[in-house]
Amino acid sequence: MKDKFQGLWPAMLTPVSENGEPAFDQLEKLVELLIGQNLDGLYILGSTGQGVLFTEEQRKKVTEVVSEVTAGRVPVIVQVGSLTTDESVRLAKHAKTCKVDGISSVGPIYFSGNTESALEHYKNIAIATDLPFFPYQLGDNSMGDTTAFVKKVMQIPNVAGMKLTTNQLLEISLIHNYAGDKLKLFSGSDELFCHASLCGTVGAIGTFYNLWGVECKLVQNAFTNGDYALAKEFMLAFQKTIQLVLPNIWPFLRKAMLLKYNIDIGRTKAPLGNTQSNWDEQTVIDIMETLEVITAQRSQEIKVS
């Protein structure tokens, strides 16, 4: 049986209405789109999903809607981290009632530099349910010595893996070489989904898979099957694109999702992205085509075969 925790998972956007509420009609459309693209799972209410900027009740409703729409067709992990451990625990218990497949949490916001506080925060969330738990790994700067941190994480009940935010490949391989198959590692750096697999990750969770999930999954599969040339060409173009759009990422994603899928993700919730500027429509089209043309021929070959 295929392990559900692997492959390419969009860090799903949470569409927002003009009044700052979750836009549930657009959310349902996005969920159906991503399922229809045969992506491997959905990671909801993380940083990309603006989870900590919504109220507790809004986050619960988003989880309910995603769970209802997916109806077991694709695995779902809910990011339940919040400003307080108590709220995170409540969100974890609610996620359990929604029959999701796993929960995750970023470290405590105010005490991210304190390893022991982070571990206690994670432990309280993990023991609140029997769901597989995927804590964040936030790098040496916030969690101290990596090996010591991972050793303690592995002692927490129900821990199944980690979401890695580091872009340091050596750090990823260090974690894998220490934990082995005991932790399923997901790369959280979109630009490294091929590279990180060489360092022991089982999959990737990322923002840009909302927009280019089909293309990235095709490249991931091709790379796994030995097509180095396609992976190199795509990853270099992908990294260049990410560097280009990052300064104004939210307006780019909004316009791109509208143009490509007719899904309006809305504006970000301030202060997130409140200084970012809009993109010219033709520029967005040109950027999308630059990436998509690389995988177009391979996609056609797959359809023919």
Query: What's the one-letter identity of residue 81?
Result: G
User: What pLDDT is stored for residue 143 in this prediction?
Assistant: 56
Alpha carbon 5 to its chain centroid, in Å, reads 13
User: What pLDDT is stored for residue 265 in this prediction?
Assistant: 97
Give the SS3 label for residue 41: coil
- Smallest CA-to-CA distance from 158 within 203, 185, 124 is with 124
User: What pLDDT is stored for residue 138 in this prediction?
Assistant: 64
DSSP letters, 209-239, are HHHHHHHHHHHHHHHHTT-HHHHHHHHHHHH
User: What pLDDT is stored for residue 111 in this prediction?
Assistant: 54
Q: Tell me the CATH class for 7-225.
A: alpha beta
Are 100 and 131 contacting, i.e. CB atoms less than 8 angstroms apart? yes
- Of all helices (H) and strands (E), which one includes residue 258? helix 249-261
Which of 86-124 are b and which e, b meaning 16 or more Cβ less than 10 Å from the residue's Cβ?
ebbbbbbebbeebebbbbbbbbbeeebebbeebbebbbb
Whole-angstrom distance, CA of residue 1 vs CA of residue 287: 39
User: What pLDDT is stored for residue 109 in this prediction?
Assistant: 65
Give the SS3 label for residue 157: coil
User: What pLDDT is stored for residue 291 in this prediction?
Assistant: 93
Are 212 and 33 contacting, i.e. CB atoms less than 8 angstroms apart? no
User: What pLDDT is stored for residue 1 in this prediction?
Assistant: 39
pLDDT in tens for each of the 305 residues of the chain? 368 999 999 999 999 999 999 999 999 999 999 999 999 999 999 999 999 999 999 999 999 999 999 999 999 999 999 989 999 999 999 999 999 999 999 877 655 557 788 899 999 999 999 999 999 886 544 456 888 889 999 999 999 999 998 899 999 999 999 999 999 999 999 999 999 999 999 999 999 999 999 999 999 999 999 999 999 999 999 999 999 999 999 999 999 999 999 999 999 988 888 889 999 999 999 999 999 999 998 777 766 55
| pTM of this structure | 0.95
User: What pLDDT is stored for residue 274 in this prediction?
Assistant: 82
Number of continuous H segments (helices) and E segments (strands) in the chain = 11, 8
